[in-house]
């Protein structure tokens, strides 16, 4: 499926999962009402420290489908997503967080295609496709399992392109331009374009994995997803060895992560 080393995918997925787990305790809290400086537990969802959410679960389901089949097949990915949301597969202690568009799509078998169906629920799980030879059309179809509106599918295509740029050590001009944007110009709610921009902003305005994901969490609101997407970028760029060892040690479900890598 890919000639890139497995270790690079591993860097990305651990980067994403750690960012997700850092953000879980602070989800929905407004910017400026807290400061995340380390991996803690409980908070918004009452989960132990190191627990990741739907962002990582759906990413692992995506990885596992590619690992099993050796190619991208949306029907299999959908089946695995249904296994996650209905039976708690790809979770540590069961499902505790998911988006409405995702839930409806998996219940009906049809991805949301309305203007209001442009949350970040497909963006948060699309990173593994950067490590395959997936075309833009295939990326769009994987997004459309849950988020079929053009705004969402385009955002996923752009993110996969950005991930591949990071793998190649370059950044597109639109990301470099974010260096001039102040924090107040960055929105960190659930709209897919905002999440993409916020994650890229955190990545381009920091110089380490740790600083990138902490910046993402501290933007507030959709903290776990912003930090998961930013963490995928930073994990890919800096490698798993750049993630603080204490965070890796605290991260739960590492054996599940390892089983799903391709």
C-beta separation of 21 from 215 below 8 A: no
Helices (H) and strands (E) in the chain, counts: 12, 0
Separation CA 8–CA 4 (nearest Å): 7
Task: For residue 133, say whether it is annotated as part of any ligand binding site.
Answer: no
Task: For residue 165, say whether it is annotated as part of any ligand binding site.
Answer: no
Chain centroid to CA 64: 15
Task: For residue 53, say whether it is annotated as part of any ligand binding site.
Answer: yes
Task: For residue 65, say whether it is annotated as part of any ligand binding site.
Answer: no
Distances (CA, A) of 62 to 128, 258, 262: 7, 13, 10
Task: For residue 76, say whether it is annotated as part of any ligand binding site.
Answer: no
Separation CA 224–CA 17 (nearest Å): 9
Separation CA 41–CA 94 (nearest Å): 16
E-state strands within 98-248:
none
Task: For residue 64, say whether it is annotated as part of any ligand binding site.
Answer: no
**CA end-to-end span of the chain:** 9
Q: Which residues are annotated as a binding site for Mg(2+)?
A: 53-55, 222, 224-225
Q: Which residues are annotated as a binding site?
A: 53-55, 222, 224-225
């Amino acid at each position: 499926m890919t000639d890139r080393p497995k270790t690079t995918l591993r860097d990305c997925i651990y980067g994403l999962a750690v960012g997700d787990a850092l953000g879980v305790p602070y989800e929905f809290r407004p910017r400026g009402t807290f400061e995340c400086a380390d991996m803690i537990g409980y908070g918004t969802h009452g989960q132990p420290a190191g627990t990741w959410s739907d962002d990582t679960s759906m990413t692992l389901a995506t990885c596992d489908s590619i690992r099993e089949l050796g190619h991208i097949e949306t029907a299999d990915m959908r089946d695995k997503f249904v296994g996650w949301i209905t039976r708690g597969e790809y979770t540590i202690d069961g499902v505790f967080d998911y988006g409405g568009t995702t839930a409806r799509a998996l219940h009906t078998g049809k991805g949301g295609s309305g203007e209001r169906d442009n949350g970040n629920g497909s963006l948060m799980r699309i990173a593994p496709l950067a490590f395959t030879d997936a075309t833009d059309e295939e990326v769009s179809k994987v997004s459309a399992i849950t988020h079929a509106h053009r705004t969402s599918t385009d955002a996923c295509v752009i993110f996969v392109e950005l991930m591949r740029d990071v793998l190649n050590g370059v950044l597109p001009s639109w990301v470099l331009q974010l260096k001039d944007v102040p924090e107040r110009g960055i929105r960190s709610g659930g709209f897919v374009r905002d999440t993409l921009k916020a994650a890229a902003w955190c990545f381009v305005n920091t110089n380490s994995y740790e600083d990138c994901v902490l910046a993402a969490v501290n933007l507030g609101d959709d903290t776990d997803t912003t930090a998961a997407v930013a963490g995928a970028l930073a994990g890919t760029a800096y490698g798993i060895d750049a993630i603080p060892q204490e965070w890796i040690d605290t991260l739960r479900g590492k054996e599940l992560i390892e089983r799903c890598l391709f």
